[in-house]
Amino acid sequence: MEWSKVGEWLSQNAGAGAALVGSLITGNVPAAVAAGISLVSSATGTTDPTKALQELQNDPATMLRLRELALQEEAAIREHIRAMTAAQLADQQAEHRETQQTIRSGDSVEDVFVRRTRPGQSWLSLFAALLYVGYGVVADKAIDATILTLLLSLPWAYAGLRQIGKGIDSVMHR
């Protein structure tokens, strides 16, 4: 068993204090994960995640010990969680910056074919979406939202509405 399973269980079942320890264990900052594992190991007396989870699930005193340790280390736990959140936000910001730089470099390239490909694809996709909707209305056919979303994804991306497209995509896959 992985320590992340222990962290998931703690996040869902441990209640105030100890649930933060679960957040540490399931995080992506090595120091925070290590701190969470250390707290659980101290409370359970084992470094084996399987035994630690069994101990936490079966012995209320062990869970109480973990909560006490978590309260003693609350400031450090919150700092680790802040660091994990900051790292995640920095990753997202770097991803966005890279995407924007790629778009700008494609828009300013001297090769006409490269410079016009992305807008051309977007316009073509927009016209295809309009034709699809128009055909559906005229022929009294059902319009499939997935197909329409796929056809509109390039124009949305070109217009800078990537986040809206992601939101619609997540709604479509529920």
**Within a domain: 103:** no
**Within a domain: 69:** yes
Domain endpoint, select from 37, 62, 91: 91
**Within a domain: 76:** yes
Long-range contacts of 150-155 (CB under 8 A, 24+ apart): 151/125, 151/126, 152/125, 152/126, 153/125, 154/121, 154/122, 154/125, 154/126, 155/122, 155/123, 155/125, 155/126, 155/129
| pLDDT grade for 112, boundaries at 50, 70 and 90 | confident
- 71, 139: one domain: no
What tens digit of pLDDT does each residue of 50-89 get? 999 998 888 888 888 888 888 888 788 788 788 888 888 9
- 69, 136: one domain: no
Q: Give the whole-angstrom CA distance, residue 6 versus residue 37.
A: 9
**Within a domain: 101:** no
Cα–Cα distances in angstroms (integers) from residue 91 to residues 29, 84, 87, 162, in the given order: 12, 11, 6, 17
pLDDT at residue 149, rounded to an integer: 93
Long-range contacts of 25-34 (CB under 8 A, 24+ apart): 27/80, 27/81, 27/84, 28/84, 28/87, 28/88, 29/80, 29/83, 29/84, 29/87, 31/80, 31/83, 32/80, 32/81, 32/83, 32/84, 33/3
- 12, 43: one domain: yes
- 83, 126: one domain: no
- 23, 81: one domain: yes
**Within a domain: 100:** no
**Within a domain: 124:** yes
143: left (phi over 0), alpha (psi -120 to 50) or beta: beta
What's the pTM value of the predicted model, to 2 decimals? 0.50
- 68, 132: one domain: no
- 65, 138: one domain: no
- 79, 143: one domain: no
- 157, 79: one domain: no
- 82, 151: one domain: no
pLDDT at residue 60, rounded to an integer: 87
The position carrying tokens 């936490």 is: 56
Domain endpoint, select from 59, 91, 123: 91
Per the structure, the count of domains in the chain is 2
**Within a domain: 98:** no
Mean pLDDT of the chain: 84
The separation between CA 78 and the C-alpha centre of its own chain, rounded to angstroms, equals 20
**Within a domain: 106:** no
pLDDT at residue 165, rounded to an integer: 46
- 134, 79: one domain: no
Residue 58's domain comprises 3-91
